[in-house]
């Protein structure tokens, strides 16, 4: 029956959006927390890439994990969901570029992806992981996935002009 | 709210929180390690450097198309080197034509050094070989110390195949 098929497709899409949110939010929160706790280790990781002056690495290490955390919370709660996905996408592009240039220059370092919590060397594995997360974020940014559940407060609702607004749970 | 505005707001929240963290804890120090501490090339290194692990390199030990090139001094080489490696010391910052001829016949050349003496030697050798037209040159990650630490095949004595 066509009606049932459409409902199933919509339901599957909603489920995939929720899953993407949880995966990306979970990984970014797991990545942000150790960096917030041990800022110095993360600052050294940034310096190891030898892209920025060392004086900037400390400041960036203090700010970047907070942006990661807020973006992850946006994905988790569903509030400003697409903004969070956009922030995470931009960060992932920067991370991929940083890892790729380290590989090209033969710099053998820990990627600093998870701060002091876990070791992860720069390499194709870390690039592949970030590309996978980027694809999930792009999925969240697709116009057809504008609607999604929010934690505490219903779901976003698409206006006729295509922008989002608050909506009550049905 | 427009998605870009949402993204800007989230980023601003992060920046404000980060600045507050700096105000409370100060800016963390970020001293990069000395350039020769981990066998990583100096940032001024030009050219593409590929690395190979000890595990992968040992798998290539019996491949006649693979040559190992020891960038250390002759005395360090004679004290112990990878089985079958040629000694190409970097004290004169050049590679003789005779040694180049031996290395050109290889499909892949793996260079290595001793990290305690500064791994710039194996990376420098890599670039000299690449400039001489040898396409596939790689640096052994961890050098001779890692090779020995893992108990991989080694021998002592002078270089038998060196011209």
Q: Are B88 and B125 in contact (CB under 8 A)?
A: yes
- Of the candidates B9, B17, B49, the beta carbon closest to that of A83 is on B9
CB contacts, 8 Å: A58 with chain B: 27-30
State percent of chain B over pLDDT 90: 21
Q: Is the pLDDT of residue A46 over 50?
A: yes
Indicate if ipTM > 0.95.
no
Q: Please give the Cα distance from A77 to A54 (Å, whole number).
A: 35
Least confident range of A83-87, A158-162, B18-22, B118-122: A158-162
- Of the candidates A47, A90, A105, the beta carbon closest to that of B32 is on A47
Q: Please give the Cα distance from B14 to B29 (Å, whole number).
A: 20
Chain center to CA of A170: 29
Selected residue with higher pLDDT from B93 and A42: A42
State percent of chain B over pLDDT 70: 84
Q: Which long-range contacts (CB under 8 A, 24 or more apart) does B118-122 make?
A: B118/B36, B119/B36, B119/B38, B119/B39, B119/B40, B119/B41, B119/B143, B120/B35, B120/B36, B120/B41, B120/B42, B121/B71, B121/B72, B121/B90, B122/B39, B122/B71
- The single-letter DSSP state of residue B117 is G
Instruction: Calculate the dihedral angle through the C-alpha atoms of A161, A167, B1, B7, rounding to the nearest 10 degrees.
Output: -130
Selected residue with higher pLDDT from A134 and B63: A134
State percent of chain A over pLDDT 70: 72
**Mean pLDDT, chain B, as a whole number?**
82
Question: 3-state class of B110 per DSSP?
Answer: strand
- The single-letter DSSP state of residue B40 is P
Q: Please give the Cα distance from B109 to B65 (Å, whole number).
A: 9
Question: And the tokens for B160?
Answer: 């038998």
Query: Taking CB atoms and an 8 Å limit, are B7 and A84 in contact across chains?
Result: yes
What is the reported pLDDT for A148? Answer: 72
Q: A88-116: per-residue pLDDT in tens?
A: 999 999 999 988 887 776 665 555 666 65
What is the reported pLDDT for A166? Answer: 45
What is the reported pLDDT for B90? Answer: 81
Residue with token string 């698409």? A158
Instruction: Say which residues have a Cβ less than 8 Å from residue A84's Cβ, sequence separation at least 6.
Output: A70, A71, A72, A73, A74, A75, B6, B7, B10
What is the reported pLDDT for B46? Answer: 43
Q: B84-118: per-residue pLDDT in tens?
A: 899 998 877 788 888 888 888 888 899 998 765 44
Q: Is the pLDDT of residue A30 over 50?
A: yes
Query: Taking CB atoms and an 8 Å limit, are A108 and B17 in contact across chains?
Result: no
Segment holding B123, helix H or strand E: helix B120-131
Selected residue with higher pLDDT from A136 and B47: A136
Shortest Cα distance, chain A CAs vs residue B159, angstroms: 29
Question: And the tokens for B126?
Answer: 């890599």
Find the closest chain B residue to A159 by CA distance: B1
Report how far apart, in Å, the C-alpha atoms of A145 and of each of A44, A91, A164, B10, B19 are.
38, 21, 11, 20, 34
**A110 at B interface, C-beta within 8 A:** no
Query: Taking CB atoms and an 8 Å limit, are A67 and B51 in contact across chains?
Result: no
Q: What is the mean pLDDT of residues B4-29?
A: 92
Shortest Cα distance, chain B CAs vs residue A153, angstroms: 16
Shortest Cα distance, chain B CAs vs residue A141, angstroms: 9
């Amino acid at each position: 029956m066509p009606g049932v098929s459409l409902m199933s497709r919509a339901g599957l899409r909603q489920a995939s959006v929720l899953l993407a949110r949880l995966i990306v939010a979970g990984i970014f929160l797991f990545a942000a927390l150790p960096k917030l706790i041990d800022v110095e280790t993360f600052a050294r990781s940034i310096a190891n890439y030898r892209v920025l002056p060392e004086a900037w690495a400390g400041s960036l290490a203090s700010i970047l994990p907070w942006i990661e955390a807020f973006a992850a919370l946006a994905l988790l709660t569903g509030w400003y969901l697409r903004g969070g996905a956009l922030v995470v996408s931009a960060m992932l592009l920067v991370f991929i570029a940083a890892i790729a240039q380290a590989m090209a220059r033969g710099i053998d370092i820990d990627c600093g992806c998870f701060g002091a919590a876990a070791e992860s060397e720069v390499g194709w594995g870390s690039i592949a992981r970030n590309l996978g997360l980027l694809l999930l974020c792009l999925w969240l940014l697709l116009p057809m996935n504008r609607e999604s559940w929010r934690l505490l407060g219903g779901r976003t609702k698409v206006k006729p002009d295509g922008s989002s607004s608050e909506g009550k749970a049905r | 709210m427009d998605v870009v505005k949402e993204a800007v707001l989230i980023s601003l929240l992060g920046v404000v929180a980060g600045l507050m963290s700096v105000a409370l804890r100060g800016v963390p120090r970020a001293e990069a390690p000395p350039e020769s501490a981990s066998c990583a090339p100096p940032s001024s290194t030009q050219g593409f450097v590929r690395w190979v692990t000890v595990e992968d390199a040992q798998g290539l030990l019996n491949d006649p198309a693979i040559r190992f090139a020891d960038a250390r001094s002759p005395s360090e080489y004679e004290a112990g080197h990878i089985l079958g490696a040629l000694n190409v010391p970097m004290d004169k910052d050049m590679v003789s034509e005779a040694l180049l001829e031996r290395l050109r016949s290889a499909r892949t050349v793996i260079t290595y050094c001793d990290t305690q003496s500064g791994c710039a030697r194996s990376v420098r050798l890599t670039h000299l070989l690449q400039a001489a037209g040898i396409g596939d040159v790689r640096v052994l990650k961890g050098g001779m110390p890692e090779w020995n630490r893992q108990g991989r095949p080694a021998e002592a004595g002078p270089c038998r195949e060196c011209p």
